[in-house]
Amino acid sequence: MDGTGTLFAPFIEALPHGFEAVPVSYPNDRPLSYSELAEFVTAQLPLRVQFVLLAESFSTPLAVQIAADQPTGLRALILVAGFVTNPSYAWVRRVAPLITAPPGLVRFSGPVIRRFLVGPDAPDSLVDATKQAAQSADPGVLASRLKMVLGCDARSSLGRITVPILYLQATRDRIVPARCLDEILAIRPDVAVVRIDGPHLLLQREPERAAGIVTNLIKQLT
């Protein structure tokens, strides 16, 4: 949800030589809706080469929306710890209009980061990097993105996607429950699922494992 793209560095470094990965950073000085972010990201997609679109957590409904528009060159969609509707409890959605600044859950203190995002055994360096990435965004932007998550609904877009979809599920995810994957599979039973033992920020905690899975998918497409 920080939108910086900096936390993808371990995953990108784990990709084999010759694999080009281009993280997209979102504007962090002003709130943008999922539709506005879709326009922003689509404008940065490659024009003359084939590519795979990968999204983690907050960005997964956005990636689903983009993939549904069938951009030229898209070969596959990868969702990591993803969802297409509110991953939290229904009652949380009802209080979304009241959110004006990030509540305690997204203030990203060390204990919160360990419990909900990276796991209790995460290295201090990852905790610090996660905190720094979160603090780089305006608090109002974080509040806006939280409300977007609580009110999102990308189910119809999911049904229109024509490329293969891979879902990486974190088995110890405290943010996105297993029912989010169940909802996706109810709409798209053809989605390939790989379960990895890890916390919510899966690409950051298990970059080598995730990179290997993504690499295998890309090789199958060529």
pLDDT reading at 196 higher than 90? yes
**Model confidence, pTM:** 0.90
Q: How would residue 140 be classed by pLDDT, with cut points 50, 70 and 90?
A: confident
Smallest Cα–Cα separation from 141: which of 198, 92, 95, 102? 102
Widest pairwise Cα distance in the chain? 48
pLDDT reading at 90 higher than 70? no
The answer to whether 104 and 115 are in contact (CB under 8 A) is no
Give the pLDDT of residue 103: 47
CA distances from 140 to 61, 145, 165 (A): 20, 9, 33
Sort 12 into a burial class: Cβ within 10 Å, 0-12 / 13-18 / 19+. Answer: middle
Q: Encoding tokens for residue 91? A: 């009652």
Lowest mean pLDDT across 34-38, 50-54, 133-137, 157-161: 133-137
Q: How would residue 143 be classed by pLDDT, with cut points 50, 70 and 90?
A: confident
Residue owning tokens 């549904």 = 68
**Across residues 96-110, what is the average pLDDT?**
53
Domains and CATH numbers, the chain: 6-221 (3.40.50.1820)
